[in-house]
């Protein structure tokens, strides 16, 4: 499905995933206008990640990754000076087709990227991957005394997306997870990322000396 003129909010270190909540503080005038327009319409904003080198043209139109995730404004607080505190809930992934530059903020024509429906085999694989994720994360959570972000009541899909968004991963790694074409592929890639980090943490670092 094609959607015209979705407001885009590009950030250098934030990737939104479907069904996950994201708190935002909006202070730049152009993005205050964006929020006001979204509130007057369908309350949707498209989150996209800025590509490396964005600092050179931040006030303009720096390059973005073409796949992002739309979010609906679920909570809004307008501050006295015009800034906003808001919460988005991730809705759908999308691909940017074309941009409009008539406003101070960015807007785009986007194609919705619905994730592939799961069959019985997919659901069995996803459940196994969930168990692997929980076992990989348990030692870390035990060490820091944190409450596990996993609950038996949370659907497998929601858990995978929540971990992809909330774990301390590089933004480009999160972007790659967002671009996975199914929740099973995303869960598998997340397991591989965490496996690699665990392996690197266990591997002794040898410091060579020049002779």
Residues 109 and 133 in one domain: no
Structure tokens at 191: 């397991």
* Per-residue model confidence as pLDDT tens digits over 87-125: 999 999 999 999 998 999 999 999 999 888 899 999 999
Same domain, 148 and 176: yes
Give the chain's domain count.
2
Q: Is the domain of 16 the same as that of 80? A: yes
Contact present, 76 and 84 (Cβ < 8 Å):
yes
Of 87 and 200, more confident: 87
Domain presence at residue 207? no
- CA atoms of 132 and 138, how far apart (whole Å): 10
pLDDT digits (tens, 9 = 90+) for 6-37: 999 999 999 999 999 999 999 999 999 999 99
Q: Are residues 9 and 91 in the same domain?
A: yes
Residues 71 and 169 in one domain: no
**Any idea what the CATH number is for the domain that residue 36 is in?**
2.30.130.40
pLDDT attached to residue 144: 38
Query: Given pLDDT bands bounded at 50, 70 and 90, which one contains residue 127?
Result: very high
Is 68 domain-assigned? Answer: yes
**C-alpha–C-alpha distance, residues 198 and 196, integer Å:** 5
Residue position matching structure tokens 């995303």? 186
Residue 153 — very low, low, confident or very high, per pLDDT cuts 50/70/90?
confident
Q: Give the pLDDT confidence score for residue 151 in this predicted structure.
A: 58
User: How far, CA to CA in Å, does 186 sit from each of 10, 46, 179?
Assistant: 22, 20, 8
Same domain, 46 and 90: yes
Residue 185 within a domain: yes
Determine, yes or no, domain membership for 211: no
Strand 84-100 with 106-113, pairing: antiparallel
The C-alpha atoms of residue 114 and residue 182 are separated, in whole angstroms, by 9
60 or 135, which is more confident?
A: 135
Q: Which of 51, 80, 113 lies at the terminal end of a domain, its last residue? A: 113
- Report yes or no on 208 lying in a domain: no
In a domain, 209, yes or no: no
Of the residues 113, 145, 170, the one at which a domain ends: 113
* Pair (109, 28) in one structural domain: yes
Look at residue 47 and tell me if it is in a domain: yes
Same domain, 151 and 62: no
| This prediction's pTM | 0.87
Q: Verify that 102 and 129 share a domain, yes or no.
A: no
> Phi and psi for 11 in degrees, rounded to 5?
-135, 155
Q: Both 131 and 69 in a single domain?
A: no
How is residue 111 written in tokens?
């194609």
Of 33-37, 52-56, 137-141, 173-177, which range is least confident? 137-141
Domain boundary among the residues 85, 113, 141 is at 113
Per the structure, the complete domain to which residue 177 belongs is given by 120-202
């Amino acid at each position: 499905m094609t959607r015209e003129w979705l407001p885009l909010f590009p950030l250098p270190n934030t990737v939104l995933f479907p069904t996950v909540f994201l708190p935002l503080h909006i202070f730049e005038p152009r993005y205050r206008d964006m929020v006001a327009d979204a509130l007057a319409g369908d309350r949707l904003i498209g989150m996209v990640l800025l590509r490396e080198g964005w600092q050179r043209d931040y006030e303009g139109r720096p390059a973005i990754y073409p796949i992002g995730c739309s979010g609906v404004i679920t909570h809004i607080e307008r501050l006295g000076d015009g800034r906003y505190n808001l919460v988005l809930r991730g809705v759908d992934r999308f691909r940017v087709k074309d941009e409009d530059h008539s406003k101070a903020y960015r807007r785009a024509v986007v194609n919705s990227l619905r994730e592939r429906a799961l069959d019985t085999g997919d659901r069995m694989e996803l459940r196994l991957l969930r168990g692997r994720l929980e076992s990989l994360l348990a030692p870390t959570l035990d060490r820091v005394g944190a409450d596990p972000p996993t609950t038996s009541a949370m659907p497998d899909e929601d858990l995978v997306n929540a971990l992809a968004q909330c774990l301390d991963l590089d933004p480009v790694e999160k972007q790659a997870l967002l671009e996975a074409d199914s929740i099973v592929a995303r869960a598998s890639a997340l397991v591989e990322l965490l496996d690699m980090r665990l392996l690197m943490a266990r591997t002794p670092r040898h410091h060579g000396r020049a002779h």
